[in-house]
Amino acid sequence: MLDICDVSVFYDQRSVLKNCRLHLAAGERLALMGPSGCGKTTLLRLALGLQMPDSGTVRSRFQRPAAVFQEARLLPWRTAAENVNAVLNDTRETLDEAERWLSRLSLADACRLYPSELSGGMQQRVSLARALAFQPDFLVLDEPFHGLDEALQAHTVELLLHALPHDLSILMVTHNEQEAVALGCRILRYHEGSFC
Amino acid sequence: MNEGAVKKLKRFLLALVFWLGLWFALSVLIRQELLLPSPWQVLRRLLALAGTRSFWRMTGSSILRVLIGIVSAALLGVLLAFLTHCSRLAHTLLAPLMTLVKSTPVASFIVLALVWIGRDLVPVFITGLIVLPVVWGNMSEALVSMDPKFLELAKVYRMPRLRILRRITLPSVLPSFRAALSTSLGLGWKAGIAAEVLTVPKQSVGRMIYESKLYLETTDLFAWTVTVVVLSLIIERTLFMLIGRSERGRQHA
């Protein structure tokens, strides 16, 4: 469960979030939609504990959060499989598991390739595989299909739908309503400093 | 060997032949072995020296001293960089010391070290003193400029500290470590030999250079100098090869 209560965040004295509230129950899926700069990503960072609010409280009872950021954030000196393995036990034994997760996202042939040898879409799928391999109870997606063409977006959403556990809580940011609906998310739209 | 490497080798050989030719021409013009021996005389002397046991004992001892200095300073530099990265107080205390070490003439340190420690250890100390601030400086900068996105990733996925160190921090700073060694290795080696010349430890290349100067054996001086240059190249290449092995995959970064 995630409880964001009366949270305000300022950047250079400019208010990004003002008395914002958000509640995410276990198994619930929410998608945040709104114009650029309205604080969607800030909210995700608060939920992940990567940022502290200037006021208000953030309480998370999720034990295993995972995230897919706008950019894939793959370690450039590790292969695709090793990148996935980095969030597992990072042993030879768990490397097979990492490769299985990559296969589930149609990346079986990319296991031994380095990020620089992968296309943007493939990198993002490796990032998704890494998040799912972690077997999270809470998944944060920050425009995970950003920069992919429509066909690849649809394909990736479909792959993801097959790989996602049904009871997984999701908090995502997207500009594409169809994506959010396809992933079973309830949509919260930005309105006067808050999401409702 | 690929085409680029062949071209590079050709260019290197061309330059080598040019400078050896010039050296030879000058030695013919001067015609005094005492002032400038010819490359051929130096080569003959070098081969004669290489046939003796003492040559290998001397070079072995010098290499050992310099390597001990380089390795211990590199390790210390890395540890201190991590320390100063974690503690602002440590950084405040250490930064001026490193600047002082960098800007003080090596000769001053050699004389001081000769007073403080035994002559056999002076070259080790001096080599370390040259390498330490460079490694510390490069590593400190690399730690500061590490991509915070990877550290955030590690935080989200709750990676253990050791894994963060092995999988994120060390690969991130390895290129800077390599650059630091590249900058300081040659300087450290030369400073180490200079320290040997001034402190004349029993078994050392520096002592042989000193004695060559003392007895006006210019050919020997050249032969030992060539030895120092060749050894410098061998040490540099060997260390880079070792670092290169641990850097596999880095070329994709």
Compute mean pLDDT per 10 residues along chain B, 253 residues long, and list them.
85 94 93 90 93 92 92 95 96 94 89 86 93 95 94 94 93 91 86 91 91 91 91 83 63 55
Same domain assignment for residues B118 and B26: no
Contacts of B175 in chain A (CB under 8 A): none
- Which of A50, A77, A117 shows the shortest C-beta gap to B152? A50
| Residue in B146, B150, B153 to test binding to A, most A beta-carbons within 10 Å | B153
Same domain for B117 and B17: no
* Shortest Cα distance, chain B CAs vs residue A101, angstroms: 16
What is the predicted pLDDT for the residue at A144?
Answer: 87
Percent of chain A having pLDDT more than 70?
Answer: 99
Q: What is the mean pLDDT of residues A101-127?
A: 92
CB contact under 8 A, B252 and A76: yes
* Partner residue facing A66 (CB), from B156, B163, B253: B156
Residue B75 lies in a domain: yes
Residues B195 and B70 placed together within one structural domain of the fold: yes
Chain B residues lying within 8 Å of A90, measured CB to CB? 163, 167
Share of chain A above pLDDT 90, in %: 59
- Closest to A77 (Cβ–Cβ): which among B152, B153, B249? B249
What is the arithmetic mean of pLDDT over A7-12? 88
B157 shares a domain with B186 = yes
Of all residues in chain A, the one with the smallest CA distance to B250 is: A77
* Residue B6 shares a structural domain with residue B48: no
Greater pLDDT, A93 or B248:
A93
The reply to whether B235 and B200 lie within a common domain is: yes
On whether both B66 and B3 belong to a single domain, the answer is no
How big is the A-B interface in CB pairs under 8 Å? 49
pLDDT tens track for A179-195: 899 888 999 988 776 77
**CB < 8 Å to B159, chain A:** 86-87
- B131 and B6 within one domain: no
Query: Could you tell me if B72 and B128 lie in one domain?
Result: yes
Work out how many domains chain B is built from and give that number: 2
Alpha-carbon gap: A129 to the closest alpha carbon of chain B (Å): 13
The amino acid sitting at A154 is A
Given this model, what pLDDT does residue A24 score?
A: 94
Q: Do B25 and B43 belong together in one domain? A: no
CATH number for the domain that contains residue B167: 1.10.3720.10
Q: Which of B149, B157, B171 sits opposite A66 (nearest CB)?
A: B157
B148 close contact with A: CB closer than 8 A: no
List chain B residues with CB under 8 Å of A114.
249, 252
Q: Quick check: A28 and A121 in contact, CB under 8 A?
A: no
Residue holding tokens 């299909």? A145
Are A50 and B250 a contacting pair at CB < 8 A?
no
pLDDT, tens only, A79-89: 999 999 999 98
Rg of chain A over Cα atoms, rounded to whole angstroms, equals: 17
In a domain, B21, yes or no: yes
Contacts of A89 in chain B (CB under 8 A): none
Q: Nearest C-alpha of chain A: how many angstroms from B248?
A: 8
Q: Which of A183, A137, A181, A133 is nearest to A159 (CA)?
A: A183
In a domain, B253, yes or no: no
Give the C-alpha separation, B109 to A103, whole Å: 61
DSSP SS3 for B159: coil
Cβ B123 vs Cβ B192: under 8 Å: yes
What would the mean pLDDT of A41-46 be, rounded to a whole number? 93
Name the residue in chain A with its Cα closest to that of B149: A73
Q: Which of residues 5-64 of A touch B (CB under 8 A)?
A: 48-50, 64
DSSP line for B65-124: HHHHHHHHHHHHHHHHHHHHHH-HHHHHHHHHHHHHHHHS-HHHHHHHHHHHS-TTTHHH
Domain containing B139: what range?
A: 39-248
Identify whether residues B43 and B20 lie together within a single domain. no
pLDDT at B5: 86
Say if residue B76 is in the same domain as residue B26: no
Cα–Cα distance for residue pair A18/A181, rounded to 1 Å = 27
Partners of residue A11 on adjacent β-strands:
A14
Residue A166 has pLDDT above 80, yes or no: yes
Contact list, A50 vs chain B (CB under 8 Å): 152, 155-156
Closest residue in chain A to residue B175, using alpha carbons only = A77
Is the pLDDT at A140 greater than 80, yes or no? yes
Q: What is the helix (H) or strand (E) element at residue A16, kind and residue range?
A: strand A14-24
The nearest alpha carbon in chain A to B247 belongs to A77
Instruction: Indicate yes or no: CB of A115 within 8 angstroms of CB of B252.
Output: yes
Say yes or no: B152 contacts chain A, CB-CB below 8 A. Answer: yes
Which residues from B are below 8 Å from A42, CB to CB? none
B250 and chain A: CB distance < 8 Å anywhere?
A: yes
What pLDDT was estimated at residue A35? 87
